[in-house]
């Protein structure tokens, strides 16, 4: 790289890759059915179960996060069954689209973008329609920066014959979502967000009762066969050819995560979130998710006269910081600052500075001081 400044990726996936992970992936190829690779999968398995907070196997699948969402819907429900879909953003919509292709009947619980759906509304919808067999929800809705109250929702679904399927793609490794303790029936994530690995690998775990369902559902596609995938997983194998290099990268990333420890990791993520929110407010901008906000990214509502895509482009040009605008229909109305994975306070300070430089108006107050104060306050707190 000949540039005088580093490029900093502050996007909600893919996220920056630590050097240790990049080097692990640069190893010569090994064969996916031989001992060295089985050892790598075994080590990943032990660490993934700790990360997911489950005693069940965590299946590695060769696909992006949407593939794991697809595998969950096809593996847990038969065509014609009814599911409740929490839809308050782009990824909630995606649950609905996947369920529709599977031939499920969807009951939709929506909320305006920027707001969470309450557990009370889930309970009311399930009371009103006892034929509903599943709840499809994001823990963190990456298109809006909202965190849905999935732990409270699980307290409701676990009392009923309703499987809670949680898209944790921008939550796992970012904020706590202990699967067994909360009573989630399916937790899934992708490699390119909190896990600090390139895109292309996803991870999925099922509860005991979800496995009982998965064994009864008629397979509807050849590639995603969860019971067969589990059989292979128990032998430290995958059903088809594993994405070998990504798994070696994942092993290194998981080692790093457990060297830091989950409590410290979550504390850092919470601190970065406090820092981003304080900085954005001090810049004179409005936060898009006012109360139920996620820890992996901060969404900023742009004033009508300042198009987000122009600001994002300017921040990249001037400061080398890559952020993202909104997703349709919020394209120019929102900026999303990613701070999940291998990102620290100094990266985020660079991001806030890039945002300030790219805005056509001067910041309202000393935004970096406010941001750094919030970071230190959060880190000193416990
Ligand atoms: C990124 C993301 C997805 C999509 O994942 P792909 O890897 O692009 O398929 C789905 N849901 C959430 C919550 C995400 O953050």
Cβ–ligand 1 contact at 190 (below 6 Å): yes
Backbone phi, then psi, for 26, in 5-degree steps? -90, 5
Cβ–ligand 1 contact at 91 (below 6 Å): yes
pLDDT per residue of the chain (382 residues) written in tens, 0 to 9: 457 888 999 999 999 999 999 999 999 999 999 999 999 999 999 999 999 999 999 999 999 999 999 999 999 999 999 999 999 999 999 999 999 999 999 999 999 999 999 999 999 999 999 999 999 999 999 999 999 999 999 999 999 999 999 999 999 999 999 999 999 999 999 999 999 999 999 999 999 999 999 999 998 999 999 999 999 999 999 999 999 999 999 999 999 999 999 999 999 999 999 999 999 999 999 999 999 999 999 999 999 999 999 999 999 999 999 999 999 888 999 999 999 999 999 999 999 999 999 999 988 899 999 999 999 999 987 6
295, two tokens: 């820890």
Going by C-alpha positions, the residue among 273, 264, 280 that lies closest to residue 339 is 273
Atom 14 in ligand 1: residue holding the nearest Cα? 169
Looking from the CA of residue 141, the nearest atom of ligand 1 is 13
Atom 6 in ligand 1: residue holding the nearest Cα? 65
Cβ–ligand 1 contact at 189 (below 6 Å): no
> Ligand 1 centre from 237 Cα, in Å?
25
| CA–CA separation, 186 and 101 (whole Å) | 19
User: Do the beta carbons of residue 136 and residue 166 sit within 8 Å?
Assistant: no
Strand 321-322 and strand 202-206: the pairing is unpaired
> Ligand 1 centre from 167 Cα, in Å?
8
Q: Whole-structure pTM over 0.85, yes or no?
A: yes
User: Do the beta carbons of residue 56 and residue 207 sit within 8 Å?
Assistant: yes
| CA–CA separation, 220 and 47 (whole Å) | 31
């Amino acid at each position: 790289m000949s540039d005088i400044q580093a490029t900093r990726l502050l996007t909600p996936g893919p996220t920056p890759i630590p050097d240790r992970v990049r080097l692990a992936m640069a190893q010569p190829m090994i064969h996916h059915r031989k001992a060295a690779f089985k050892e790598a999968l075994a080590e990943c398995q032990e660490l993934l179960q700790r990360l997911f907070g489950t005693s069940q196997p965590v299946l590695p699948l060769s696909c992006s996060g949407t593939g794991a969402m697809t595998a969950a819907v096809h593996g847990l429900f038969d065509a014609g069954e009814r599911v409740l879909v929490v839809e308050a953003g782009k990824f909630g919509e995606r649950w609905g689209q996947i369920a529709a292709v599977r031939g499920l009947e969807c009951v939709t619980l929506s909320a305006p973008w920027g707001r969470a759906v309450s557990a009370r509304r889930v309970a009311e919808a399930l009371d009103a329609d006892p034929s509903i067999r599943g709840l499809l929800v994001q823990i963190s809705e990456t298109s809006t920066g909202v965190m849905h109250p999935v732990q409270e929702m699980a307290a409701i679904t676990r009392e009923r014959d309703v499987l809670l399927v949680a898209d944790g793609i921008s939550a796992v490794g970012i904020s706590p979502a202990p699967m067994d303790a909360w009573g989630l029936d399916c937790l899934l994530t992708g490699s390119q967000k909190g896990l600090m690995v390139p895109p292309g690998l996803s991870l999925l775990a099922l509860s005991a009762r979800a496995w009982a369902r998965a064994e009864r559902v008629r397979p509807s596609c050849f590639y995603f066969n969860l019971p067969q995938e589990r059989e292979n997983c128990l032998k430290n194998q995958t059903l088809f050819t594993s994405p070998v290099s990504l798994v070696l990268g994942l092993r290194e990333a998981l080692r790093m995560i457990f060297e830091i420890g989950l409590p410290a990791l979550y504390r850092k993520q919470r601190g970065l979130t406090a820092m981003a929110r304080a900085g954005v407010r001090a810049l004179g901008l409005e936060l898009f998710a006012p109360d139920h906000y996620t820890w992996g990214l901060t969404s900023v509502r742009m004033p009508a006269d300042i198009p987000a895509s122009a600001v994002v482009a300017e921040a990249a040009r001037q400061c080398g910081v890559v952020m993202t605008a909104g997703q349709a229909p919020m394209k120019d109305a929102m900026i999303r600052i990613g701070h999940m994975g291998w990102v620290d306070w100094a990266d985020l300070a660079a991001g806030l500075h890039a945002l300030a430089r790219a805005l056509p108006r001067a910041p309202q107050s000393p935004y970096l001081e406010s941001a750094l104060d919030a970071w230190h306050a959060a880190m000193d707190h416990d």
